[in-house]
Amino acid sequence: MKWLVHAVACGLAVTLLCTGADFVGMPVDGVRGLVVVTCQFISIAAFWCFVMAVLLVAGRWVAGTVMGLLMTAGGVLGYFRYTWHYSFDETMFDILGAVSETTTMSMINWQLVVWTITVVTIGEAVVFLGCRFYRLKYNDWKTWCIVAVASVASAAFLNPDWRMCRPLTRRIPLNVVYEYKKYRENRYEIEKKRERSDMVGMPMEDDVVVVVVIGEAVRADNLGMNGYWRETTPFLEKRDGIVSFKNMWTDICYTNGSIPRIMTRADGKNPDRAYSERSFIDLFRQCGLPTVVITNQNIERQYSYFWNEADTLIVTNRGRDAYNYSKWLDEDVLEPYRTATGRMNEGLVVVHCIGSHWWYKAHYPDNMEYYRPVIKSRIVAECDSAAMVNTYDNTIRYMDWVVDQMISEIEGRKAILIYISDHGEALGEDGMWLHASDCRGAHRTAAFVWMSEKYREECPERWENFAKRRDEKMKTDEIYGWVRNMFISMN
Ligand SMILES: [Zn+2]
């Protein structure tokens, strides 16, 4: 009995001191949200209690060593999470190998050291002091029954099919293991040999700057320029040279599946091409044109290969993830975008935005909150429907401003910007919210093209062809072909 009480104390210490930082500032609104968050917290604590029960049977030195490792990781990550709102992500493994000693030293301050030492000391004290109060009966069958139950229970938590696996493995301290696994998977994909899908000759015309912006969860119906009742796209509507394709459809409603279909020759008939062929970035590279990818999202295995096809890959907003609620804004891509487009006469820039991703409030600045009231809770079930739509529309209106800024940078040149969202979003239709659900709103994705005046004058037929298709039904699978046929002449 004392052994189990001790395991609970150890488990609670890990949950409070390590995972606790990930719960600080989590937006909830009302009893329902509190209950959901408390249940999550208790479940995570239960996992650590099971683990500690097993470790204590292995001996206090084993339990003490593991506790030391957990608390060191938890102390450091919790400190950065709490003070810098920084979540550890897989790109850190690249950075850790590349940063100089001075940079590392500049991140270490006395508060971090004191906090980490305190956390480790508390953890060790709980393990070693607790062991003084009892002696485990190794020859008792009940002990081994409990060990078996605790082992099976903790393994069950790590089963990816169980809904507690995600909240547990994405949070401190297990996120280090999760992110390392993701990092290895990404490296594997990047290093894998892929076929060239098209052998190309040369650029079809000189001096065109091509920008492809991949949006996130922006649905066609909520764009003012598509006839939405709110003016969510005032900047873009004022521009000449824009055609919005109202009837763009994506077969796949989640980022990891949809982006490979946009980037490659893959389509409904040949879905495997998404994982065996190169993207349109490679077409530009083959022609000797400069290519830049700027991403404001976490890089996932399903598209890490394409981003690394570019000459230059720029990652903005490292250290953000689904369990981080601080601001994560697309305006942060503007500076590297300016530099990239400023340097090139011709070439390709691909920008991957965070756009209208869930926890909408993180993805637009507070001074651009046009529609109110907005949501106050991250628990969808306790959000008011009208507030959900208001908050979502704020992200659309912010996207309008960000893309308009991108256009301003290249408007005097021979340039084109293709905007395509990876998928749309469900906004309460049939009780469904967010994406990945199979509803019309999530399939109907935003897409538009802007061509500069110079480009329209030089290639009026191209412009007319876009204008003609504005109401046509089309699929995101077409984008690869658009890019290839417009800019590259085949061998
Ligand atoms: Zn997405």
CATH of the domain at 433: 3.40.720.10
Clarify whether residues 306 and 362 are in a common domain.
yes
Task: Please check whether residues 171 and 225 belong to one and the same domain.
Answer: no
Q: Is residue 383 part of a domain?
A: yes
The closest of 219, 357, 253, 366 to 298, measured between CA atoms, is: 357
Q: Is the dihedral of CA 303, 210, 273, 276 positive or negative?
A: negative
- Per the CB < 8 A criterion, the answer to whether 155 and 65 are in contact is no
- Classify 282 as helix, strand or coil: helix
**Structural domain includes residue 112:** yes
Statement to judge: residues 334 and 231 lie in one domain = yes
> What is the C-alpha to C-alpha distance for residues 374 and 388, in angstroms, rounded to an integer?
7
Is residue 143 included in any domain, yes or no? yes
Q: Which of 165, 188, 211 is the last residue of a domain?
A: 188
Output DSSP code: residue 311.
Answer: S
The per-residue pLDDT for 94 is 72
* Residue 257 CA, ligand 1 centroid: distance in Å: 9
Ligand 1: centre distance to CA 311 (Å): 24
Cα 128 to ligand 1 centroid, rounded to whole Å: 47
| 373 and 254 share one domain | yes
CA of 205 to the centre of ligand 1 (A): 33
Contact 227, 367 (CB under 8 A): no
Burial call 172-190: b when 16+ CB within 10 Å, e when fewer: bbbbbebbeebbeebbebb
Range of the domain at 108: 2-188
Same domain, 242 and 112: no
- The Å distance, Cα 395 to ligand 1 centre, comes to 14
- Residue 363 Cα, ligand 1 centroid: separation in angstroms? 14
Looking at residue 182, its pLDDT comes to 87
Question: Do 216 and 184 belong together in one domain?
Answer: no
Find the 355 Cα to ligand 1 centroid distance in Å. 9
CA of 217 to the centre of ligand 1 (A): 5
- Looking at the chain, how many residues does it have? 491
> Count of domains in the chain?
2
> 188, 213, 246 — which closes off a domain?
188
Å from CA of 216 to ligand 1 middle: 5
468, 451, 448, 465: which is closest to 241 by C-alpha? 451
Q: Are residues 125 and 262 in the same domain?
A: no
Q: How far is the C-alpha of 403 from the C-alpha of 369, rounded, in Å? A: 17
> Is 193 a domain residue?
no
372 shares its domain with 479: yes
CA of 254 relative to ligand 1 center, distance in Å: 5
Residues 217 and 163 in one domain: no
Neighbours of 102 (CB within 10 A): 7
Ranges of the chain whose pLDDT falls below 50: none
Asked whether residue 47 is domain-assigned, the answer is: yes
Q: In this predicted structure, what is the pLDDT of residue 347?
A: 95
CB 277 within 8 A of CB 265: yes
Do 212 and 90 reside in the same domain of the chain? no
Residue 465 lies in a domain: yes
Based on the fold, state whether residues 465 and 437 are members of the same structural domain.
yes
Task: Kindly provide the residue ranges of all beta strands, DSSP E only, lying in 353-414, ordered along the sequence.
Answer: none
Q: What is the pLDDT of residue 85?
A: 79
**270 and 366 both lie in a single domain:** yes
Residue that finishes a domain, picked among 141, 165, 188: 188
CA 414 / ligand 1 centre spacing (Å):
30
